[in-house]
Each structure stands twice: as structure tokens, then as C-alpha cells.
């Protein structure tokens, strides 16, 4: 069995680090494979650019490392051929790129043309740049990134060493948390902490807290960060009114993060793998800094992320779902997959900002790591049988009990992901826009109440994807379902505006997303860029 597959591009590594650097990386990978074997599962390295490897997978080798299409097709071939329990992408985006999904909210003041991320690699659907094609992930996947633009492989070798030596800890080791939020979003983040930890007493607000956190706070292993982030910026920012102080600084925290930390980061660009050579300081981004300090898992966004000031939505929910599953004992990769699936089913459909949220958040870390060991009532039988399962009886066990349990979970997750893809309606860009009339006036009034001035307006129609997964029986069931009796004309209308000033370190985006049925607005929500 190949329970864990590591995919990478050896040619891209050789170009970055030379033959000697590549040899060091391969040695570190072999150590990880040996460590995984000692844990009870088989790991295998597959080079996406090597024809001999891809021929065995009935796929085509990657000739252009920068091509999202080629890399998606190659990883699909690997996964289809082997169906591993875990798939780990080894390398930053200059080794294996993020997928360049078109941002459904683009053309407003959300300036991200693409919502970059790894979620398509976790989906059965073939290559597409249409983000709403990838709302039903089925694969347990994570990325262990080296440094973008690096010439020394030492950083990646350190990450591989952490992956080889990880150990599960007790729930009590993650009971105390480090959390920081922009003051403006205090109500939202307090709600997140209450849901995750039962109390918001450990939450710090910026201003005035930070960025020089105590070692005791940074040493806590559960981190939740809800601040502003900027592109190619190693700092996160708080906010109170027009005051945007530094709340979290990668240069300050470097060397102070405890081994085994798991971080859920809502900030805009919080998971951006930028080239630190572009900065005068050469400071690595927050994601790379955390991982370099032996953080086990970092869940963050490559582009502008969103959430409300009060209540929870979008990035709040996805980060919550991820961390909650880690705290319940899931592996990092399964926690990310289950979080995405829960988020995709949290509402009756997915509006454009939720589609972007799914697209832009990725897991950085070895997906097979299980940070927390949770006791279960089931006793698994393995290669060293307990008393009563010796001799001939032991030979009847086809695999370890833990591997069978994993396979059962993967089957459930596959079924759920396919169901989401087949049944969850999504918002798609419409040609019409409520430029005039009562609908437009109502939307402008909502925007004005949210202090959005001179908004741009974008419209979306709500559609159910037409796929082969919907056979005649499925169509018949849906035809009789209550949802089929909803009024015609389901749509979303967005009023969006941004603010940038010389004294503000990051661009601020505000949006009102209103839902329409039969020419009338029936509900709305407000979102702010993180």
C-alpha cells in the first residue's frame, strides 16, 4: 500500500539548489519515508517531471514547472492511480504552483484577479480556472513549502526533519491558546474563541496589545490570528478607527514559536509564499517563519480574505472549522478537508466571497501529522498482534487496524465531497447589474448604511452545476424537494468599495452581499477585508 505520496518537481529543485542541494533534499526525504514506516504507513516519492514515474501513474510528466494545468493533470494521475490516504506537495510555488483560479469577486475593488490556492489538487474535477468547479474536495492534502526564490536548501531540510520527528501530544498541550484580533473585530473573534475553547479570556486585541508578545504567550501551541495583512508583508496589523498598529511581526516571533504549534490565520495574504529577496530586510513571510520554527500546521490565505466585524462568516468559519478538527484529534490534512467540506455546506448555496474563501486558503505542513492524540474506544490490531492474535490468526489481518480506519474515513470523505459538488448551488457572474430601479436603490441604501461610498456593483446568478453525477434518479428527487419550489430568479448583488490612504498600511475593502428572489432583496450581509 502507498498510504502517503509526496509529489514534487526534482528538476525545479535542481535549478534552485544545484545537484548537491537536490541530493541533500532527497536524503532528507528518505529520512521522512523511514520515519513514516516506523509509524506504520508506507510513503513514496513521485517526481511529477520524471517520465518514468509518471508512466507508472498513466500520466504525462510536467515539462513546464510553472504550468498550473500540467501540474493539476499530473497530480490527478498520481491520485487516481494510487488513491493514497495522504498527498503532500513538496516545494513552494516556484516548484509546484498554486492553481490560478479566477476570483469571482474581481472587477470590483477586490483587486485579486486570481484566488491562488491548492484546493483543485484536492478535487476530482479536471483542470479549470473556474473557482466554483472546486467546492467539493475529496482528498487529504497539504503542502510543505521551501522558500520561494531560495538558493540554499537548509530551510526545507529543516521542515522535512520536523515532519520526520513529529509526535502527537495530549489535548492539554493545546488547551491554552494565543489569539490576537484587530480591535474592530473584537466581537467576531471573541465568538470564535468561545466556540473553539469555551472562553475568550485568552484573546488579545490590537491596539493596544502586541507586537512584542511574551515568550509564554507565543509558546502556546494553538494560534488564532484575525488581523489585517498586506501583500509581500511580514507583519499583521490591528485596527481601532484609523489607527493600524503592528500587531504581529514575523521578525519578532522568529525563534519563539513552540514546536508543534498549529496556526489558523484569517489575515489577508497570511499564507502568501512570497520571495523574501524582494524585501530590503529579507524577512520571510509569516507562514514561512512559523514553519521554520517547527510549527506543524499553518492554515492561511494567499490573497484578500473576508469576514464580518460582528458574528462569524467566511474566513472566520473556515479557520474555526480547521482548528476545531485539529483539537478533536484529526490529522492536519483531514482537518483541512473536513473544514472545507463543512464550509461548503454551511449555507443553502455559495456566494462569490465564500467561493473565493474556499479557493484561497491552503494547508501548509505535512498532512499526515496528527498534533493531538485523542483516545478512542477502539483497540487497533497491527503488525505486532496482541495476545490471542498470534500465529495463523494474525495472518488473516490484511492491514493494520489504523490503516483500515483511515480507509473507511477516506471513503466517507470522498462520498461527501462528490455529493457537495453535485448538489451545492453556486453564484456565477451575471451580465445584468442592478444599475437602476428599486433593486438598485435598495442595494445602494444598504451600502450607505454600511458606510460604503461610491460602490461598484456586481451581480451573480445562483446555479446548480450540470454534471454527469446528477443521474435521472437524482434529478427526480430534487424535482420533488422543497428547494425546487423556491421563487425563480435567485441571485446575489454586491456593492463593494475600497479605501487606501498613505497612513494606512493595508488596503481596506468593504462589501454588502444581498440575496434576491423574484426582483426583491430578501437578505444581506456585510464583509470586511482581513
Both ends of the chain: CA-CA distance in Å? Answer: 42
The model's confidence at residue 354, banded by pLDDT at 50, 70 and 90, is: very high
Q: What is the pLDDT of residues 292-339, one digit of tens each?
A: 999 999 999 999 999 999 999 999 999 999 999 999 999 999 999 999
- If you average pLDDT over residues 451-470, what whole number do you get? 77
Residues 295, 369: Cα–Cα separation, whole Å: 11
> How many C-beta neighbours within 10 Å does residue 487 have?
11
Give, in order, the Cα–Cα distances in Å from 211 to each of 247, 248, 319: 5, 5, 22
Which of 136-140, 430-434, 520-524: highest mean pLDDT? 136-140
pLDDT at 136: 95
Domains detected in the chain: 4-162 (3.40.50.10390), 166-376+403-423 (3.40.50.1460), 426-529 (no CATH)
Give, in order, the Cα–Cα distances in Å from 278 to each of 231, 233, 283, 284, 417: 12, 10, 9, 10, 39
- If you average pLDDT over residues 353-378, what whole number do you get? 92
pLDDT above 70 covers a percentage of the chain that reads: 88
pLDDT at 197: 96
pLDDT at 378: 58
Give the largest Cα separation in the chain, rounded. 81
Quick check: helix, strand or coil at residue 470?
coil
Residues 341, 352: Cα–Cα separation, whole Å: 17
Q: Which residues contact 408 (CB under 8 A, 6 or more apart)?
A: none
Given a cut of 90, is residue 388 above it in pLDDT?
Answer: no
Residues 165, 499: Cα–Cα separation, whole Å: 46
pLDDT at 390: 44
- If you average pLDDT over residues 430-444, what whole number do you get? 77
Least confident of 372-376, 427-431, 486-490: 486-490
Residues 182, 512: Cα–Cα separation, whole Å: 20
Given a cut of 50, is residue 408 above it in pLDDT?
Answer: yes
Quick check: helix, strand or coil at residue 151?
coil
pLDDT at 406: 84
Amino acid at each position: 500500500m502507498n498510504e502517503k505520496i509526496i509529489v514534487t518537481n526534482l528538476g525545479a529543485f535542481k535549478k534552485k539548489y544545484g545537484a548537491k542541494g537536490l541530493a541533500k533534499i532527497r536524503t532528507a526525504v528518505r529520512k521522512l519515508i523511514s520515519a513514516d514506516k516506523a509509524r506504520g504507513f508506507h510513503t513514496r516519492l513521485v517526481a511529477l517531471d520524471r517520465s518514468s514515474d509518471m508512466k507508472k501513474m498513466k500520466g504525462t510528466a510536467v515539462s513546464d514547472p510553472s504550468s498550473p494545468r500540467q501540474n493539476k493533470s499530473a497530480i490527478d494521475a498520481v491520485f487516481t492511480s494510487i488513491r493514497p490516504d495522504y498527498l503532500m506537495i513538496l516545494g513552494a510555488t516556484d516548484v509546484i504552483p498554486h492553481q490560478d483560479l479566477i476570483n469571482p469577486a474581481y472587477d470590483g475593488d477586490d483587486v485579486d484577479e486570481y484566488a491562488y490556492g491548492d484546493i483543485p489538487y484536492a478535487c476530482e474535477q479536471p483542470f479549470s480556472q473556474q473557482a466554483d468547479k472546486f467546492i467539493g474536495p475529496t482528498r487529504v492534502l497539504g503542502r510543505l513549502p521551501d522558500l520561494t526564490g531560495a538558493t540554499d536548501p537548509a530551510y526545507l531540510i529543516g521542515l522535512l526533519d520536523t515532519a520526520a520527528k513529529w509526535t502527537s501530544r495530549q489535548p492539554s498541550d493545546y488547551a491554552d491558546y494565543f489569539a490576537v484580533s484587530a480591535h474592530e473585530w473584537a466581537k467576531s473573534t471573541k465568538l470564535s474563541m468561545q466556540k473553539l475553547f469555551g472562553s475568550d479570556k485568552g484573546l488579545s486585541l490590537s491596539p493596544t496589545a502586541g507586537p512584542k508578545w511574551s515568550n509564554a504567550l507565543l509558546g502556546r501551541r494553538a494560534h488564532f490570528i484575525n488581523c489585517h495583512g498586506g501583500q509581500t508583508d511580514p507583519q499583521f496589523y490591528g485596527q481601532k478607527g484609523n489607527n493600524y498598529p503592528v500587531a504581529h511581526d514575523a521578525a519578532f516571533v522568529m525563534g519563539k514559536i513552540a514546536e508543534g504549534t498549529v496556526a489558523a490565520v484569517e489575515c489577508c495574504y497570511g499564507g502568501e509564499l512570497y520571495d523574501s529577496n524582494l524585501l530590503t530586510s529579507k524577512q520571510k513571510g509569516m507562514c514561512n517563519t512559523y514553519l521554520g520554527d517547527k510549527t506543524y500546521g499553518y492554515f492561511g490565505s494567499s490573497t484578500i480574505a473576508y469576514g464580518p466585524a460582528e458574528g462569524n462568516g467566511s474566513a472566520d468559519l473556515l479557520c474555526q472549522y480547521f482548528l476545531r478538527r485539529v483539537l478533536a484529534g484529526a490529522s492536519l490534512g483531514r482537518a483541512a478537508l473536513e473544514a472545507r467540506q463543512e464550509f461548503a455546506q454551511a449555507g443553502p448555496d455559495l456566494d462569490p466571497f465564500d467561493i473565493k474563501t474556499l479557493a484561497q486558503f491552503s494547508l501548509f505542513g505535512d498532512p499526515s501529522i496528527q498534533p493531538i492524540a485523542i483516545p478512542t474506544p477502539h483497540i487497533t490490531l497491527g503488525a505486532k498482534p496482541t495476545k490471542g492474535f498470534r500465529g495463523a490468526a494474525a495472518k488473516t489481518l490484511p492491514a493494520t487496524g489504523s490503516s483500515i480506519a483511515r480507509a473507511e474515513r477516506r471513503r466517507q470523505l470522498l462520498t461527501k465531497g462528490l455529493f457537495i459538488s453535485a448538489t451545492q448551488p453556486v453564484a456565477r457572474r451575471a451580465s445584468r447589474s442592478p444599475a437602476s430601479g428599486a433593486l438598485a436603490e435598495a442595494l445602494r441604501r444598504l451600502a450607505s448604511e454600511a458606510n460604503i461610498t461610491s460602490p461598484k456593483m456586481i451581480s451573480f446568478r445562483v446555479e446548480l452545476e450540470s454534471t454527469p453525477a446528477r443521474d435521472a434518479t437524482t434529478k427526480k428527487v430534487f424535482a420533488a424537494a422543497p428547494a425546487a419550489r423556491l421563487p425563480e430568479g435567485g441571485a446575489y448583488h454586491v456593492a463593494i468599495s475600497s479605501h487606501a490612504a498613505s497612513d494606512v498600511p493595508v488596503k481596506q475593502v468593504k462589501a454588502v452581499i444581498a440575496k434576491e428572489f423574484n426582483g426583491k432583496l430578501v437578505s444581506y450581509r456585510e464583509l470586511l477585508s482581513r
